[in-house]
Every structure is written in structure tokens, then in C-alpha cells.
């Protein structure tokens, strides 16, 4: 992250809003569409001000029909527009799989490279808001399975702004997952223009004894765990891939080779999820350097409960990471 003095502290939500404003001002082909994204400013207020500045021709309030909204976005992207579609809850991406998987992801290949679909789908992930099973899932691994899609999971305001600007300028369809519990989290963001390239992981904390690969909100969990482990003499290196597709394999593998132990933590389900793929990568390419099996930590394999007490039990936490690190370092 930039350490230059010409920066200020803003929330992750503000960082996303700034990126949208700046990219729409820079390129008239950029449009925003979704439910309540116009006058209302979005369900999480992340598109606030766009309607007033750019008008109804470029900020489109759409009916409650996710399949129609994304279909409109895919079509617009094939006709030299750069649409940003907001799907307010990631759970609702189940309604747009044909448009994303069979259309957006395939058009460049099926046209012999003659067409592109520069589409960004912004959506949410993560539990913790007590809004039950149909509004709390982390489904990003679905899209990592599909060639032709790029999948982004920012963990800080700095990353959110830089990665979103890159996504909007990319000629491929990008699924941009934002943890809804992180919109009010603050961090330093430069005042000057910047972007963050895809496929470049960020070492959030340097360590020597164990590698912790963490995504999205789990980066904060991992960093808090690393602070606790440091008081016990265990030096944890925390790495945020930032993008799962494309994936910076080299940084993850090199860290695991250095520390000889690895934990992967992600808020999605562990079964056939991101933790499985990341753990398989490290296990395969750092095999002869590992002193213990790679540990995976993910969401409990149940629908997210409405009860706050039960919901908290399904979300990976700091204590789980600390206990896993103790086991691995002691093995």
C-alpha cells in the first residue's frame, strides 16, 4: 500500500464510490445499472451522487429482475459500452448464471476474438448482518470455476478503489465481490490516480513461521490472529491474493516454501471452495518444503442461520486461526 503523505483515510464504501465517480467521469462509455442505484444511491449507498452527476441515461434504475439486468449489461458490453451492474446481494447471482457463464464468459472465445464483454458485476458476500440464509452467502468460488471470468475480492479501501478501477478498464467480464460487513472499515487511500493490477497478491504482514492466506474480510481476521501469535513467539506471514482469478500462485507458493506451514482462510464454504483450490496449489507446488499438512478454514457447511448467536458460530474467526497455527507450528 502507498505510504506517501498525499493520502487520506476513507471507508471502503467511500473508496468504491470514488472509483465509480472517477471512471464515469473519465470514460463516457461507463454506465451503472441495478436496483435502486439511481436516486436512492443503492441499498448500501455506494452509488450515491452518480445519478445527480451523470443523469438517468448513464445511471439506470432497473426493475427487480437480476437476470434481465445482467442480460442488459452483457448486451451493452458487446456494443462498446462498459456497464457496471450492481447485484445487491451475492446470493442473487444464482439468478444470472446463464447470462454470466454462458454469455459474458464465452463471447470473446466464440467470436474468434472479435468481440469482448467489458462488464463488471459488483455484488456482496459475507455473513454477520443477521439477514439469514438467502442474503449472507459467500459464493465467489462458483465464478472462479469458469474460464473467461475474473474474480476480485478486495479487503481494504486502498485495494477496493484500485482494483475496481482496473476492473472497469478491463476488457473481460469481472465479478467484483465486496464484503458487506466491511463497507464502514477505514483505511488510507492516495489522493492521486492509481490502479492495482490483477493477479498480484499483497503481503499484508511478513513472517517466518507460518503462512496465512486470507481473502476479503478474513484478511482482517488473519491479521488480528497474527498479532496474538506474535505474543507467543509465532511469526505469521499474512497474504491477501486480492484476485482469485487470475491468481498470483508464485507469491503464495514462495511464502509457504519459506515458512514450511500454511493456513488458508476464506468465508466461503470449504467443500469444493476457494480454500480447497488454494490448499491444493500450495500442497502440490510446495510439497517438499512443508512440515505439516495445509490447514483449511472456511464457513460452517450449513445455511447461514438467522439467529445472531448461531450465525456467529458459522463464520471463521480469529480464535480458529490462532488454534490452527499453534497446532501446525507445534507439529
Coil, helix or strand at residue 124: strand
Nearest to 142 by CA among 172, 177, 107, 115: 177
| Known catalytic residue at 135 | yes
**Bridge-based pairing state of the strands 150-152 and 243-245:** antiparallel
Backbone torsion region of residue 254, taken as left when φ is above 0, otherwise alpha when ψ lies between -120 and 50, otherwise beta:
alpha
Q: Which three cell numbers stand for residue 65?
A: 429482475
Choice among 21, 40, 108, 135 that is catalytic: 135
The Cα 145–Cα 102 span in angstroms is 13
Q: How far apart, in whole angstroms, are the C-alpha atoms of residue 13 and residue 44?
A: 8
Strand partners, 203: 239
Half-sphere exposure of 326 (CA within 13 A, CB side): 11
Give per-residue burial for 288-308: e unless 16+ CB within 10 Å, then b.
ebbeeebbbbbbbeeebbeee
Q: What angle do CA 117, 123, 128 make, to 5 degrees?
A: 160
DSSP secondary structure string for all residues of 130-163: S--TTS----HHHHHTSTT-EEE---SHHHHHHH
Report the DSSP pairing between strands 295-299 and 262-269: parallel
Instruction: Judge contact between 277 and 283, C-beta under 8 A.
Output: no
Strands (E) in 57-116, as ranges, are 59-61, 82-87
Residues that are catalytic = 135
Amino acid at each position: 500500500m502507498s505510504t506517501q503523505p498525499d493520502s487520506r483515510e476513507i471507508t471502503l464504501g467511500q473508496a468504491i464510490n470514488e472509483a465509480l465517480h472517477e471512471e464515469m467521469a473519465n470514460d463516457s462509455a461507463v454506465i451503472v445499472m441495478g436496483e435502486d442505484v439511481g436516486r436512492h444511491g443503492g441499498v448500501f449507498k455506494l452509488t450515491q451522487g452518480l445519478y445527480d452527476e451523470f443523469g438517468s441515461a448513464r445511471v439506470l434504475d432497473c426493475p427487480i429482475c437480476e437476470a434481465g439486468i445482467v442480460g442488459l449489461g452483457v448486451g451493452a458490453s458487446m456494443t462498446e459500452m462498459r456497464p457496471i451492474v450492481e447485484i445487491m446481494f451475492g446470493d442473487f447471482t444464482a439468478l444470472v448464471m446463464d447470462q454470466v457463464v454462458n454469455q459474458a464468459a464465452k463471447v470473446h472465445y466464440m467470436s474468434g476474438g472479435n468481440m469482448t464483454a467489458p462488464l463488471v458485476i459488483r455484488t456482496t458476500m459475507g455473513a454477520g448482518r443477521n439477514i439469514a440464509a438467502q442474503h449472507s452467502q459467500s459464493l465467489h468460488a462458483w465464478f472462479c470455476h469458469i474460464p473467461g471470468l475474473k474474480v476480485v475480492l478486495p479487503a481494504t479501501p486502498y485495494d477496493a478503489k484500485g482494483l475496481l478501477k482496473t476492473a472497469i478498464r478491463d476488457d473481460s467480464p469481472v465479478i467484483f465481490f465486496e464484503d458487506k460487513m466491511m463497507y464502514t472499515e477505514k483505511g488510507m487511500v492516495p489522493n492521486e490516480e492509481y490502479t492495482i493490477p490483477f493477479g498480484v497478491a499483497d503481503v499484508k504482514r511478513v513472517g517466518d513461521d507460518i503462512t496465512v492466506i486470507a481473502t476479503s474480510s478474513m484478511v482482517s481476521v488473519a491479521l488480528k490472529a497474527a498479532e496474538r501469535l506474535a505474543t507467543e513467539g509465532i511469526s505469521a506471514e499474512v497474504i491477501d491474493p486480492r484476485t482469485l482469478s487470475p491468481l498470483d500462485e508464485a507469491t503464495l507458493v514462495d511464502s509457504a516454501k519459506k515458512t514450511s506451514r500454511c493456513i488458508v482462510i476464506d468465508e466461503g464454504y470449504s467443500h469444493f471452495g476457494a480454500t480447497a483450490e488454494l490448499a491444493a496449489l500450495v500442497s502440490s507446488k510446495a510439497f517438499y518444503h512443508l512440515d505439516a499438512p495445509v490447514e483449511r478454514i472456511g464457513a460452517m457447511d450449513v445455511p447461514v442461520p438467522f439467529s445472531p448467536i448461531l450465525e456467529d458460530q458459522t463464520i471463521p474467526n480469529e480464535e480458529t486461526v490462532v488454534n490452527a497455527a499453534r497446532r501446525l507450528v507445534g507439529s
